[in-house]
Amino acid sequence: MSQRIFLDNAATTPIDPEVFEAMLPYFKDFFGNPSSIHAHGRKVKAALETARKTVAGILNTSPGEIFFTSGGTEADNTAIQQSIDSLGVKHIVTSKLEHHAVLHTAEHLAKAGKVKLTLLTNKADGSLDLNELEDILKENPNTLVSLMHGNNEIGNLLDLNKVGELCRANGAFFHSDTVQTMGHYNFDLQALPVDFIVGSAHKFHGPKGVGFLYINANSKINPLIHGGAQERNMRGGTENIYGIIGLAKALELASKGIESHKNHIMGLKRLMIDQLKEKIEGITFNGQSAQVENSLYTVLNVSFPPHPDNEMLLFNMDIEGISCSGGSACSSGTNLGSHVLNSLGGLDPERANVRFSFSKFTTEEEILKTVNALAGIFATKEA
């Protein structure tokens, strides 16, 4: 059987072989607990802090502002929930397009009566009205704005500087879920007006189950998880050392190759758009994902024309040896459809919507094979 094609990199990415090699010694030889004061522990503690310095250096911030977590969801929850207790936040502004790690957290807190919740209006292409945000901030003190940098389903990008400046001008705090963009864009946290951002290693060719939270030194919060003095008293629990080593190595590799990887992936995205338009009648694209220069370059969300096999499209692609997604992988197994696509409004229920997402390991041959497989399912133009 030929090798499968993986076009679901927004859900997870394959681990980079160099990352795996960097992690191996911490599975086998350097197994000490970093909280232990003996030699075994000190060796691992040193590696932990070196990893923290690596991440901080790449993001141009202080190691004291980087806290390792179990992933993006925990990091998002910590920033949002603890801003209420520690920073006096009484109002959260977010959108219906957010990942559930943010949206469900904000809804839970509002339902519990801890905060007022406002959802920004989005247009049919998923873009947000920042004039509306400014008006809301002027009328509501003690606000946390939580808006993602790059949408994991439709590829829309947010102007972090503009939103951050609006927040600063109106005394609001700004948290951004940067899980999809970390490792794919450069971040200068000395210049960027944000209070909290997050990363998850498995989105940039690192291991699963490890991430980090950046907390601006001027926006200190209390821990979400209690139990020990780890992470400078910010997160109880023995650190996932091999995961943290892998995260730092993966971010280091991603940052070094960021421009070449971006150019490679953008070329693949353009190729797929052109080939789909050429070979399948009635193709459209959701959100701003087809705006190659102005969207998250790793994501393309395609709307296919009505067809008798649309309900089986993902299954048929899987049979063809191609892995892709109908929405966010975190919601797989449900029949509710994508909350992001539903929020755009006016989508034809007879059309099939598929997210294709790419990585530095994706090839032109894989794109062409995928389009040809799709062309075999839908009515096609003559070549």
Burial class (CB in 10 A: 0-12, 13-18, 19+), 90: middle
Phi, psi of 203 (to 5 degrees): -90, -10
Active site residue 167: no
Burial track 145-164 (b if 16+ CB lie within 10 A, e otherwise) = bbbbbbbbbbbbbbebeebb
Residue carrying the six token digits 């150019």: 263
Which is catalytic among the residues 87, 330, 373, 375?
330
Name the helix (H) or strand (E) containing 35.
Answer: none
How many other C-beta atoms lie within 10 A of the C-beta of residue 28?
9
Q: Do the beta carbons of residue 289 and residue 154 sit within 8 Å? A: yes
Going through the chain in order, the beta strands assigned E by DSSP cover: 5-6, 66-69, 91-95, 116-120, 143-146, 173-176, 196-200, 211-215, 284-285, 299-304, 322-323, 352-357
Rounded Cα gap, residues 323 and 313, in angstroms: 11
Residue of 172, 192, 27, 39 lying closest to 94 (CA atoms): 172
How many Cα atoms within 13 Å fall on the side-chain side of residue 50? Answer: 11
Residues in the chain, overall count: 383
Question: How far are the Cα atoms of 16, 119, 140 from residue 21, in angstroms, in the given order?
Answer: 9, 44, 50
Rounded Cα gap, residues 66 and 54, in angstroms: 10
Tokens of 169: 């001008």
Rounded Cα gap, residues 221 and 77, in angstroms: 12
Residue carrying the six token digits 């993602």: 148
Q: Are β-strands 143-146 and 173-176 bridged in parallel, bridged antiparallel, or unpaired?
A: parallel
Residues labelled catalytic: 330
